[in-house]
Amino acid sequence: MTRLTDLIRGQSSQEAVSPDAKIPTCTVGPTGLPIPPSRPSASVAEADWYQRACHELQGIKRAVQTRQPWTLDESARIASGIVASLGATDKLVQTVLQPNTGDYLVNNAVSVAVVSVKIAEALRYESAKLEQVALAGLLHDLGMFVLPDSLVYKTGTLTEEELPYVREHPQQGARLFKEVGEACPWVGRVILQEHERWDGSGYPNKLAGNQIDEMALIIGLADVFDAQMNARPYRSGVTPHRAIRALLVNGKTVFPHHLLKGLVEQLSIYPLGTTVRLNTGETGVVFQLNRQYPLRPILQVSQQTASACAATSKTVNLRTETSLHIVEVVLLG
């Protein structure tokens, strides 16, 4: 199957680009498709993919705002790198589940890409399709880059005049993407449909059920999850545990059951990094998931030693330690 980076390089080689644009050289393979100069691998530090994605999206944002040319080449490499990293370790997941600082629009795009790939993994998407999900996740809110910062980062509630303007960003993003993404039509569909909801309550076209592309629903779910977790100028965020619980309670009509199930299967009711209290009174931190047993993760449980000044920890696998169970989440800070 044609890889994402091959497809995009094949398209971009036919496009006119600015003489100042930095486009890597590539060679042509036996199939006639261009071969990218480097293939990402999980050996690259996981945190690097997060920072690299943020840097690239900041560049795209500046290009959109100043009406400068931009391409998908680096975004495609980052999408492939995110998939490779998530196939080897959950460290990228740990990164996106931590409270983040900086430009929340950019951070949200990277987090949505990561969480969307995890949901798609639960649906057994093959690697090439996972890369498509990652790329669409990175660019899902492209249209927000067109809006003035005074509106995007407004601390108060949007007025009745401002709300329709903001809700036009899917159409704005789809138009922008059409200029550079002819080889990737699925990204344009996601940009246009990511805010549509299963019960028809979304926008811009109030699509419902199977009228909505599944990839757009996946990315919409990841977007809502991340938006609940992270603070916005007008509200505070909640823990990953609370975000998932809220989705399970309130998201039953707006997202299909199999997507919600996939989110829980991949991130658990108790996501990585969650501090919990056991029935023994001990506290522990979730550091590994038992995929088929979301209520019974693997914990690092604190232990007080004989010396009052020292503490150690032990590993507790709740799948095998059947006499133990989680009684509550401990909210820190």
pLDDT in tens, 208-239: 999 999 999 999 999 999 999 887 666 677 88
- pLDDT computed for residue 183 by the predictor: 87
Are 260 and 236 contained in the same domain?
yes
Are 168 and 249 contained in the same domain?
yes
Domain stops at, among 247, 267, 287: 267
| CA angle in degrees (0–180, nearest 5) for 281-287-292 | 95
Are 285 and 252 contained in the same domain?
no
Are 167 and 220 contained in the same domain?
yes
Question: What share of the chain has pLDDT > 70, as a percent?
Answer: 81
Are 288 and 247 contained in the same domain?
no
Q: Which residues pair with 102 in a beta bridge?
A: none
Total number of domains in the chain? 2
- pLDDT computed for residue 8 by the predictor: 59
Domain stops at, among 267, 284, 305: 267
pLDDT of 253 > 90? The answer is yes
Tell me what the pLDDT averaged over the chain comes to: 85
Q: What is the pTM of this model?
A: 0.82
- pLDDT computed for residue 217 by the predictor: 98
Structural domain boundaries, residue 234: 4-267
Rg (CA), the chain: 21
Are 247 and 323 contained in the same domain?
no
What CATH number did the domain enclosing 146 receive? 1.10.3210.10
Confidence of residue 26 (pLDDT cuts 50, 70, 90): very low
* Under 8 Å between Cβ of 192 and 140: no
Question: What share of the chain has pLDDT > 90, as a percent?
Answer: 60
- pLDDT computed for residue 20 by the predictor: 39
Pairing of strands 283-288, 275-278: antiparallel
Q: Which residues pair with 288 in a beta bridge?
A: 298
